[in-house]
């Protein structure tokens, strides 16, 4: 069965379950009306059927209403219970049953709509396969994913979904990571790459050593985090609670006044029913739920409604440099010739010397060689000095690659021109790696942490969204920090900071009255992330510390997710206010008509439930909202 067929079947099942109560209430109410209309049987039988419809359809509301009343909490359910009891007290059993039927239909519609909002996230779990091919005792066997253990080697063929979080130990492929990062462009995976459950292996075979299974996978934790966030309350929700606390006594007084003026109990009951603040009560949670779901599909996870309320209020944004403004990986940014050799020759000799090295700078040099499609033979001899450089021999010549002091200790003469070039590169925030051939410096490789290309544009966008200043925080040397800050266009920077100093800087800004957002990688930035008003972990796919510490988690490496978060925060707050406006309009119009005696109890309920449905659909529209791209 296809995924679409399963979803269609699930939709029909959901509708069937939600229809049980309204259908049962409708049948009982119709039977009561038929017996009364044609005067079949004793009167108490048709009355009993109507009462049965009220009890069956309104049982949960009665239970919740009485519980809230005993706790001295004035809630929507208390309103409903008071109104229904008043309706039945005047022997209007069938009208009471009709009222319950209308509420049941509206409640089913609301539940179905809201469940669709949550289901869009729960469906992510469908991406994780239930079976896996695992290598055991030299054979490949198919087992349920639930039986997999950490350390198992899972084989994933082209076109199959990856069932576990793990590391590639053999093979290479392109993997679509959309369920995790929101990015639909495939990512190349090879030896040592991390992969995630639910992602799609598109081309080659992969052998994966299992690191996490079941509830421990990144995909499962995403779903859990979103469901948890959808259940939390935004502080603005407290306004609804305070409103209903004083609103019921006021409505009761108004209903009594309406009865005194009209002399008709039905008018008083209509006032109670139409005043039920159901729409007001759901104005906030429905909008928050839709907003959280929308962002989750964009790979932006939020821990609760409070952060949606705070997001658009951020005035100072602090950003860790490494892994946020930059990729956190060194890259050869320039090749300077110092004796007339071509840049390709200098780089080729450096690659030969570094071919067996595991140092990050060596990997960046080799990457540059591969990008230029250079032929890189094996060195004849290789020797590494930890943290200093490497000595190699190839084609009967000695090659040295490393720091200035390393070359000097090996007998290489450093001329003034080399010193000037090293100072020049340092002023640009680059690391200078010298290349010597037969004890003569032939060139210099300028290596720096690669800046993300979209950063400058995103910072300008965030400025248009209310951020007053963007400050870069880093543990790097001030010269490196200044070079990166200038290239990116941040307002200022703080260099040579330890984790506790970053946290102290957050505290200082908060003391000045700023709402502080902190963006980091979730590990060394954890103290600052935890203290900030909104802590944002970037590029956190698979990083436990980031997901646990941050209030907002960007599962991909794109800082534009922060703009999405702030935009959605503002949009959700506007939608909440719009929902409250809708609910108040319905209440004011309904109360006015009710006091004037222009409503029956049934019409009052229809009018009140129309307000609830309006609010639900208003919030549901947030599911499909998209941030408009603007030129900055």
Which of 68, 115, 126, 320 is catalytic? The answer is 320
**CA angle 530–561–227, rounded 5-degree value:** 65
Token readout for 579 is: 């929902």
Q: What is the DSSP letter of 161?
A: B
Calpha distance 46→608 (Å, rounded): 27
Q: Residue 249: which region, alpha, beta or left (left: phi > 0; alpha: psi -120 to 50)?
A: alpha
40 Cβ contact partners less than 8 Å away, ≥ 6 residues apart:
34, 46
Q: Is 320 a catalytic residue?
A: yes
Parallel, antiparallel, or unpaired: how do β-strands 139-144 and 534-538 relate?
unpaired
Packing angle of the helix pair 93-122, 43-70 (nearest 10 deg): 50
Sign of the alpha-carbon torsion through 29, 31, 34, 39: negative
Nearest partner of 537 among 293, 238, 142, 218, judged by Cα: 218
DSSP bridge pairs for 194 = 167
Parallel, antiparallel, or unpaired: how do β-strands 131-136 and 139-144 relate?
antiparallel
Q: In Å, how far are 84, 216, 605 from 52, measured between CA atoms? A: 13, 47, 19
Determine the 3-state secondary structure of 289 from DSSP: helix
Nearest partner of 387 among 421, 348, 431, judged by Cα: 431
Determine the 3-state secondary structure of 273 from DSSP: helix
The per-residue DSSP string of 361-429 comes to: HHHHHHHHHHHTT---PPPSEEEEETTTEEEEEETTEEEEEE-HHHHHHTT----HHHHHHHHHHHHTT
Residues that are catalytic = 320
């Amino acid at each position: 069965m296809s995924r679409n067929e399963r979803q269609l079947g699930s939709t029909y099942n959901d509708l069937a379950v939600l229809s049980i109560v309204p259908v049962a209430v409708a049948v009982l109410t119709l039977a009561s009306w038929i017996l009364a209309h044609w005067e079949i049987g004793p009167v108490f039988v048709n009355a009993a059927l109507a009462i049965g419809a009220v009890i069956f359809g309104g049982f949960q509301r009665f239970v919740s209403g009485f519980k809230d009343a005993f706790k001295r909490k004035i809630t929507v359910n208390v309103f409903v219970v008071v109104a229904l009891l008043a309706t039945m007290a005047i022997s209007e059993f069938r009208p009471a049953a009709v009222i319950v039927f209308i509420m049941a239909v509206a409640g089913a519609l609301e539940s179905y709509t809201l469940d669709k909002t949550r289901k869009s996230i729960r469906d992510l779990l469908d991406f994780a396969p239930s079976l896996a091919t695992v290598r055991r005792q030299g054979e490949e066997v198919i087992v349920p994913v639930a039986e997999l253990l950490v350390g198992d080697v899972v084989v994933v063929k082209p076109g199959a979904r990856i069932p576990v979080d793990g590391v590639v130990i053999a093979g290479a492929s392109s993997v679509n990571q959309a369920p995790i990062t929101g990015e639909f462009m495939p990512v190349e995976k090879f030896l040592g790459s991390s992969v995630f459950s639910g992602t799609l292996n598109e081309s080659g075979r992969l052998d994966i050593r299992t690191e996490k299974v079941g509830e421990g996978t990144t995909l499962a934790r995403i779903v859990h985090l979103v469901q948890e966030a959808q259940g939390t309350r935004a502080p603005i929700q407290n306004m609804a609670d305070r409103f209903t606390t004083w609103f019921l006594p006021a409505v009761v007084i108004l209903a009594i006044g309406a009865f005194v003026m009209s002399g008709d109990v039905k008018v008083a009951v209509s006032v109670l029913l139409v005043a039920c603040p159901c729409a007001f009560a759901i104005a906030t949670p429905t909008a928050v739920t839709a907003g959280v779901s929308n962002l989750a599909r964009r790979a932006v996870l939020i821990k609760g409604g409070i952060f949606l309320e705070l997001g658009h209020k951020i005035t100072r944004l602090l950003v860790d440099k490494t892994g946020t403004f930059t990729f956190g990986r060194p890259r050869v940014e320039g090749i300077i010739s110092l004796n007339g050799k071509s840049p390709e020759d200098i780089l080729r000799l450096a690659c030969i010397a570094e071919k067996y090295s595991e140092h990050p700078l060596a990997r960046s040099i080799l990457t540059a060689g591969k990008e230029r499609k250079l032929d890189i033979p094996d060195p004849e001899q290789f020797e590494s000095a930890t943290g200093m450089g490497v000595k190699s021999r190839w084609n009967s010549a000695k090659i040295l690659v490393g720091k200035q002091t390393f070359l000097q200790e090996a007998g290489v003469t450093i001329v003034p021109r080399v010193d000037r070039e090293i100072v020049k590169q340092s002023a640009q925030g680059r690391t200078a790696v010298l290349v010597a051939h037969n004890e003569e410096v032939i060139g210099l490789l300028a290596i720096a942490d690669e800046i993300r290309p979209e950063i400058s544009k995103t910072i300008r966008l965030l400025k248009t969204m209310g951020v007053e200043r963007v400050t870069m925080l880093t543990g790097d040397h001030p010269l490196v920090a200044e070079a990166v800050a200038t290239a990116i266009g941040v307002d200022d920077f703080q260099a040579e900071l330890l984790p506790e100093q970053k946290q102290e800087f957050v505290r200082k800004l908060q003391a000045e009255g700023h709402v502080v957002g902190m963006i980091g990688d979730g590990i060394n930035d954890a103290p600052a992330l935890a203290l900030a008003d909104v802590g944002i972990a970037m590029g956190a796919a698979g990083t436990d510390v980031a997901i646990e510490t941050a209030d907002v988690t960007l599962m991909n490496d794109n800082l534009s997710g922060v703009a999405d978060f702030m935009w959605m925060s503002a949009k959700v707050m506007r939608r909440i206010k719009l929902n409250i406006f809708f609910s108040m309009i319905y209440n004011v119009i309904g109360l006015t008509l009710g006091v004037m005696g222009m409503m029956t109890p049934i019409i009052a309920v229809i009018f009140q439930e129309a307000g609830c449905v309006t609010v639900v659909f208003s919030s549901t529209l947030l599911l499909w909202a998209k941030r408009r791209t603007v030129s900055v």
